[in-house]
Structure 1
Amino acid sequence: MPTSVELAAMRRAIVISASGLGATSPNPAVGCVILDAAGRQAGEGFHLRKGDAHAEVNALAAAGGRAAGGTAVVTLEPCNHEGLTPPCHQALLDAGITRVLIAVMDPTSRGAGGAARLRQAGVDVHTHVLEEEALLVLGPWLAALSYRRPALHLLMQADAAGGVSPLSAEALVEIEVERHAHDLLISPDGSVEEGRSGSHGRGFSVPAAMPNEPDGALAVVAEAGARSVLLVGPSDLGKRLLNRSLIDRLTLFMPVPGPSQPATSSPSLPDGFVLSRIARTSCQLVIRAERR
C-alpha cells in the first residue's frame, strides 16, 4: 500500500503535470516525483513538449544519484517503446529505481506495458494510485484517444433571457485563463490560434482556416495534432458540434438573476451533461458541465 509520503508525492506529480497542458500534444501531460531510499523527495519533472524528455527522465535528472534504491511516483505508466525519446521504464531501471507508483495506465502501450516490464525486472510496482485525481489532467487526453478526435470545450455567454449573447468581460477573462490548457483556440469568426503561442514541439501545426461543419473541423484539428480544443461562442460551428453531441465540456456564463426575474429565463443544460462546477464573479454565474 502507498504510504502517506508517497500519496503526497503523487499529488505533487499531478499538480506539476498540469504545467505541460497546452504544449505536449499529441503526447499526454505527465508529472513525476522521485523519492530517495529514505523516502525524501529527491527530484521532480514534467513533460514539456513532444520531442523533449519525458517526465520520468526530467525527474531522474533532477534527482541524480539519489534516485538509486528510490521510488518513482508518476501520473502515467512509464512508456515501453522508443520514439523520439528512449523508453522511460528503462531509464527508471538504469537509475536503480526499486519501487514505482503509477496513477493511470497507458492505453497506447505496445505489447507488454512499462509496468509489466518493470515488474519483470524485479521492481515493486503499484498501479491506479490516486487515479481519479490524476484524471483531472489526463482526462482530456484519454478522451481524445477514446473518441479518436480532440476533446472539445465550448465556452458561451448567456443573456438574462437565457439566449446566447456576446461575451461578457468576465467570460473574456476566463478565456484567457482556459486557453493555456488547450492546444487550440477557435474564435467565433472561425480563426484558429495556439492556446499558448509557440508552445508546441515538432509535428504540430496551427490550421490556417476552420471549416464551418463538424466533420471537416474535427479532421483539421486532429491533423494538426491537437488533443484539446477550446471553442468560443456564439458560433455556428459550436452550435453544430453541440447538436451533434460532440462537445465534451461546456462552460456557460450568465448574469446573476435579479430577485424579480422569472426562473424560466435561466438557460438549461443540453441533454447528456452533468454539472461539475458552479462559481460566481461580481455579476456573473459560471456554470461548468461535463458530458456523461
Structure 2
Amino acid sequence: MEDIGRALAAALGRGEGVRGHTSPNPPVGAAILDRTGELVGQGATQPAGGPHAEVMALREAGERAAGGTAVVTLEPCHHQGRTGPCSQALLDAGIDTVYYCQPDPNPVATGGADFLRENGVNAECLNHEVDALIPWLTSVHRNRPSVTLKFAQTLDGFTAALDGSSQWITGETARRHVHRDRTKRDAIIVGTGTAIADNPSLTARDGDRELPNQPRRVVIGGRSLAGHAPNLHRLGFEQYRGIPDALWQLWETGARDVLVEGGAQLASGFLEAGLVDHIQAYIAPTLLGQGRGVLAGAVGLTITDAVRFGTPRITRLGDDVLLEMTRKD
C-alpha cells in the first residue's frame, strides 16, 4: 500500500492546488501508477469546460496507464457534460484498479464506480476526507454556495477598538494567510456598511502585487455605493439587495465556495438565517476590554440557543491562532 499512499498524496496535492479555479466543478486531483507501482501520471481538474483530473493524469501517463492503478480524490464522474465521462476514460485506458477518496453526491455525475465494477475494473472507496472538496461537497448538499464566515478578533472577542480602528489586529503572517486563502475562494462578500466605511479592494495580494487567481467581489445591501468605495468601482463588483438573492445568483453563475468578511450586521444576518457552514477565526493575543464585536447582536437569548461549531483544525500563524470550524447540524 506504500505505492497507493504515494499516489494519494500526489492526488491530494494536485486537488488542493486548483482550489478556486474549477467551480462549478470540484477541485479534484488524480494520480496514475503503472503496473509496477511507479507514479507515471498526475492531474487536476481544469477550469470549467476543460478536462477533468483523471483525463489530465491519463494523458501524462500515456500507454503506461494500461494495467495500472488510478487514485482519485472523488469518485470518477459518469455523465456527458462539456467533457466526457471520466469512468469511460479510465476504462478505455485499461486501468485495472481505481481508488477514490469520496463518493460523488452529485446525482447528475454519480455512478462512475458502479460502471467501472460492471466492466471488470476494481473500484474501491477509501472514505478519506479531502480538505479541498469540503466546500464543494457542502454546496452540493445545501444546493447553494458553501459559506465561510471569516473574521479577525482580539482574545476578548473584539474586531475593532471603540474608535473603529482595526489595522491591524493580527500580525503579518496571519494577514498573508488571509490573502492566500482568498485565491481559493469563488467570491468575497461584504455588506454596504463595510464597503462605505473601509473602501476595501477585496483582492488577493502579496504585498502590493495581486496574486494570479482573484475572487469575485460582492456587496450585499440596498444602499447605493455611488460616491463611495472607489476601490470597488475601479476593480468591479457585484451588488445584491439581500442574502438570499446574492446566494442564488452566485450559485446560478457557478460560485460554490464564498467567504463572508463583514461587517457585523451581515455576519449576524448569515448566522440568523442558518447559512454559515464554516468559520475562520483569526485570534490575536491582544486585549481591548471594549470594542466592536463580530456580530451586531445576540443570536439567542440563552446558552441553549447558541450556534455550535466543531473545530477540526487549529493553526498557529506567528503569534496569532487560526481556528477553522464547521457547523454542527
Superposition TM-score, scaled by structure 2 size: 0.75
Instruction: Render the CA deviation track for 1:77-127: whole Å, top value 9, x for unaligned.
Output: 111111111111111111111111111111224487111111111111111
The sequence identity of aligned pairs, in percent, is 33
Q: What does residue 15 of structure 2 align with?
A: 17
1:141 corresponds in structure 2 to: 136
Q: What is the Cα deviation at residue 233 of structure 1?
A: 2.4
Report which stretch shifted further, 142-151 or 208-217: 208-217
- What is the aligned partner in structure 2 of residue 177 from structure 1? 180
Deviation at 1:282, TM superposition (A): 4.2
Q: Does 1:106 align with 2:104?
A: yes
The equivalent of 1:286 in structure 2 is 322
Q: Which amino acid aligns with 1:4?
A: E
The one-letter code of the counterpart of 1:287 is L
Q: 1:194 offset after TM fit, Å? A: 7.7
Amino acid at match of 1:251: Q
- Residue number in structure 1 paired with 2:63: 65
In the alignment, the residues of structure 1 paired with residue 316 and residue 60 of structure 2 have an alpha-carbon distance, to the nearest angstrom, of 41
Residue number in structure 2 paired with 1:230:
259
Distance in 2 (CA, whole Å) between partners of 1:111 and 1:158 is: 41
The change in CA–CA distance for 1:255 and 1:81 in structure 2 (over 3 A counts) is closer
In structure 1, what is the Cα distance between the partners aligned to 2:76 and 2:38? 21
- In the alignment, the residues of structure 2 paired with residue 240 and residue 193 of structure 1 have an alpha-carbon distance, to the nearest angstrom, of 20
Partner of 1:189: 195
Matched, 1:163 2:170: no
CA distance 1:62–1:231, shift in 2 (3 Å): same
Partner of 2:163: none
Matched position secondary structure for 1:131: coil
* Matched residue, 1:34: 32
Aligned in 2, Cα 1:272/1:210: closer, same or farther, shift over 3 Å?
farther
* Aligned match of 2:77: 79
Q: CA deviation at 1:219?
A: 1.7
The residue type paired with residue 249 of structure 1 is H
SS at match of 1:64: helix
For residue 207 of structure 2, what is the aligned residue in structure 1?
none
CA distance in 2, matches of 1:43, 1:186: 38
Letter in 1 for 2:128: E
AA of the residue aligned to 2:195: D
Instruction: Give the stretch that moved more between structures: 114-123 or 185-194.
Output: 185-194
Give the deviation of 1:161 after TM superposition: 4.3
Q: Distance in 1 between matches of 2:123 and 2:136?
A: 24
* Equivalences for residues 249-260 of structure 1 within 5 A: 249-257=278-286
Using the alignment, how far apart are the partners of 1:194 and 1:54 within structure 2? 27
- Maintained 8 Å contact 1:253/1:284: yes
CA RMSD of aligned residues (A): 3.1
User: For 1:25, what is the secondary structure of its paired residue?
Assistant: coil
Cα offsets for 1:161-217 (capped at 9, x unmatched): 4233235353543320111111112244288968798859xxx98764233532122
Q: 1:140: Cα distance to partner?
A: 0.9
Contact conserved, 2:186 with 2:216, CA < 8 A, in 1? no
Shift of 1:289: 1.8
- Listed one character per residue, the Cα deviations across residues 57-81 of structure 1 (whole Å, up to 9, x for unaligned) are 1000000110011111111111111
Q: CA deviation at 1:276?
A: 2.7
Give the conservation status (yes or no) of the 8 Å contact 1:184–1:193. Answer: no
CA contact (8 A) 1:253 1:286 kept: yes
Is 1:7 matched with 2:5?
A: yes
Conserved 8 A contact 2:3-2:37: yes
Length, aligned pairs only:
280
Contact 2:32 2:39 in 1 (8 A): yes
Which of 243, 251, 271 is 2:272 aligned to? 243
Separation of aligned partners in 2, 1:273 and 1:175: 21
CA distance in 2, matches of 1:60, 1:290: 35
Please identify, of 163-172 and 10-19, the stretch whose mean Cα deviation from structure 2 is larger: 163-172
**CA deviation map 1:144-167 (0-9, x unaligned):** 011111111111122454233235
Once residues 197 and 160 of structure 1 are traced to their aligned partners in structure 2, the CA distance between those partners, rounded to angstroms, is 30
1:231 positional shift: 1.7
Contact in 2 for aligned 1:44/1:58 (Cα 8 Å):
yes
Unmatched 5+ stretches in structure 2: 161-165, 205-209, 219-236, 300-305
Q: Secondary structure at the match of 1:12?
A: helix
Measure how far apart 1:138 and its partner are: 1.1
